[in-house]
């Protein structure tokens, strides 16, 4: 992604981009990198979702970008403010890995639960998931091009792929 403006999205963070800028987040293990894109006005958004539900929030000042159920509505609001329309949006996501071999405890299935929670939220807003690279047991870094709507996924084990 040569010479394009790079907009970094940290852990438990979200941001939007337009005019060909590229959104990037690193360190996706059990976290989900969720991207939204309006292909007509070329506005993109990315959230680095750490946990499935804000109902488990314990911090005094809640970070809405940290949870799937609060990050996605906030991302939609920011994108709408930039001219995007929900009915034109499409989603792509990566991450949601099961990073450690665990027993059957559901509370420790953070990666799969993050994917499920993001999918449920997108369904509530009627946003189709165009592509995803989720699961497995490895980390990912992603970049999303706000001009082309292409999600580039990098991992040590599997190299680079585009969806």
- Residues with a known catalytic role: 31
88 SS3 class: helix
> What tokens were used for 88?
């034109």
Helix residue ranges per DSSP H, 12-146: 68-81, 110-124
- Quote the strand ranges of the chain, DSSP E: 6-8, 14-17, 22-28, 32-38, 43-49, 90-95, 129-134, 140-145, 151-155, 159-162
Give the separation between CA 26 and CA 48, rounded to whole angstroms: 9
> What tokens were used for 24?
């990037």
């Amino acid at each position: 992604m040569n010479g394009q403006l790079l907009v970094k999205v940290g852990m438990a963070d979200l941001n939007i981009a337009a005019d060909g800028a590229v959104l990037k987040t690193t360190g996706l293990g059990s976290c989900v990198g969720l991207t939204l894109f309006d292909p007509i006005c070329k506005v993109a958004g990315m959230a680095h979702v750490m946990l499935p539900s804000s109902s488990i929030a314990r911090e005094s000042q809640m970070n809405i970008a940290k949870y799937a159920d609060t990050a996605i509505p906030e991302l939609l609001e920011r994108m709408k403010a930039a001219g995007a329309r929900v009915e034109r949006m499409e989603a792509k996501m990566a991450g949601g890995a099961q990073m450690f071999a665990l027993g059957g405890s559901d509370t420790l299935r953070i990666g799969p639960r993050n994917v499920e929670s993001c999918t449920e939220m997108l369904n509530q807003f009627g946003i189709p998931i165009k592509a995803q690279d989720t699961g497995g047991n490895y980390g990912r870094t992603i970049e999303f091009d706000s001009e082309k709507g292409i999600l580039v996924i990098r991992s040590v084990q599997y190299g680079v792929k585009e969806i």
